[in-house]
Each structure stands twice: as C-alpha cells, then as structure tokens.
Amino acid sequence: MASRHWVVSLPVENSASSLWNRLQEQISKHSFDTPLYRFNTPNLRVGTLDSLLALSDDLVKSNNFIEGVSHKIRRQIEEFERVSGVESNALTVDGVPVDSYLTRFVWDEAKYPTMSPLKEIVDSIHSQVAKIEDDLKVRVAEYNNVRSQLNANNRKQSGSLAVRDLSDLVKAEDIVVSEHLITLLAIVPKYSQNEWLANYETLTNYVVPRSSKKLHEDNEYALYKVTLFKRVADNFRTNAREKGFQIREFEYSPEAQENRKARVRKTGARPRKFEKFSFAVVLY
C-alpha cells in the first residue's frame, strides 16, 4: 500500500529551527506515531513582489502541467506492467523509492542553481518536463508499433490455416513450379475433406491426377496442395471458392522464409529498456 504524505508550508517568525521544534511537539501530542520529515529547500531569489505576483499564475499552470505528465507516466508504467505481467516493486525517482526521495530530499544545485531568478528555474523545470512528455510519446509510439507487429506475428503463427503464415508448413518438395505447372494450396474445412478429394480433379481441366496431398490440419481446416497447369489456375481458384474451398496465395522462397524468421526474431526480441523519466518539484 502506497504511503500518503502531506507537504506543509508554514511562515517563519523567528527561526526555522524553533518552528520545526514546535511543530514536532504539537504533532506528537495528538499523533505520537506520525513521522515528520523536514523538506529542506534553499533560499531562492524571489525578486520583487510584483515579479512574484506575476509568477504566481505561471506556477499554477506549471504545477497542473507537471502533475498531469507525472500521472501520464505512472499510468503508462502500470499499463506496461499489466501487459507484461511483471510488476516492479515500486515507482522510483532516479532509482530511489519515492518515500525515501521525499523524506531525504536534497535540492539539485547543479540543475537548478539557487542564484538564478525564480522564473528561470520554473521555466527550466517546465521545459524539461515538456521534453520528457515528448520523449514519452515517442517511446510509447515505438512500443505500440512493436506490440502490433508481435500481435500480427502471433496471429500468423497461431491463427487458423485460413489466416496464419504457411511458410513453416510447406517444404520445397511440396511445391512444383515449372514453365507450365503450378502448385496451389487449398484450405479445406475439416468436414469437407472427402468432398475435396472426390472433386478437386474436376474443378477445372488439366489438373494433375492424384496430385493433392494433405500437408497440415488444425481444429478447423486442413491444408492440401494440388498441382495443375498454370493456364487454368484462375479458373480453378474461382470454382474452388464456389465449392467453399479457399485457395491461399503462396509463393515458396527460401530467402523469403529466412527473412520472415529474421523479422520474427527481431520483433520478438526483448525491447530495449525505456529510459527513466523522473523529476520531483516543489514550488512555492
């Protein structure tokens, strides 16, 4: 269960240390088991009152924007975990658990020099978060593209004979291709196999007798090959379709098979890790 934190900002009257001590004392009276952590922020160059008032509207917009991007990243990570079935222990900030990051917060002077005007710091944070959002969109698009390719490959490999890729089911010796002859692949419903065997030779002229052979079958269909003259191939396709037999377009090519296998291996390879998206901002 995720921890819940309250960030409290109090005006300093005498000293920050005395205020901190009083706060600890008051909280302990009413909730002795509630831990308190001091959120150390440096003294920033606030500027004039007019500049601070002008900046206040920008701070509201920046806060809403940054919060929105944070939730978007969180939802995307949760989606990745749901799809992959692998849950990480927790979201982190630069590899540090969120609870630890908040309770041990240290201002990053290198990224956000305290000598810079407050508006420059706010603009810098806003720009960096905008870049993170753009990077996230690109990575998500890449992820969805790879996921679509994997789903397509899975359908080709595990779908029925009517839709799946046939390359791994057909061998070179199954195909006859010459100047005059061609081998076609027919998808026959399992309950119609006897009808196919009884009628394929008469679907058109010039079909090679007894050339049909079953190559594979699944729960719904059987895959048959048949050899005939090229000049009657179109007529055979038409007549076969009218009888409820599907002629799959297929051209045997060892090079194409190797290329297909290479694409499957490449697409199915473990995707490169998404770079970390992390930021934590408290603006006053």
Enter the pTM of the model: 0.58
Q: What is the mean pLDDT of residues 43-68?
A: 86
Greater confidence (64 vs 99) lies with 64
- What are the residue ranges of helices labelled H in 3-117? 16-30, 49-84, 98-103
Which pLDDT does position 277 carry in this prediction?
A: 41
- Inter-CA distances, 88 with 92, 118, 163, 201, Å: 10, 36, 37, 61
Average pLDDT, the chain: 83
The pLDDT, as a whole number, for residue 131 is 94
Per-residue pLDDT, 96 = 85
- Name the residue with tokens 């058109």: 204
- Which of 38-42, 182-186, 267-271 has the lowest average pLDDT? 267-271
Q: How far apart are CA 157 and CA 151, in angstroms?
A: 10
Work out the angle at residue 44's Cα, subtended by the Cα atoms of residues 7 and 116, and round it to the nearest 5 degrees: 130
**Mean of the pLDDT values across residues 76-104?**
79
pLDDT band at 136 (very low <50, low <70, confident <90, very high): very high
More confident position, 242 or 45: 242
pLDDT for position 49:
82
Distance CA 88, CA 165 (A): 36
For residues 96-106, give the mean pLDDT: 85
pLDDT at 258: 65
Would you state the structure tokens that stand for residue 222, as one six-digit string? 């059987």
Q: With bands split at pLDDT 50, 70 and 90, how would you rate the model's confidence at 185? A: very high
Helix (H, G, I), strand (E, B) or coil at 113: coil
Band of residue 91 on the pLDDT scale cut at 50, 70, 90:
confident
pLDDT at position 89: 62
Phi, psi of 240 (to 5 degrees): -65, -40
Residue 228, pLDDT > 60, answer yes
Q: Residue 190 pLDDT > 70, yes or no?
A: yes
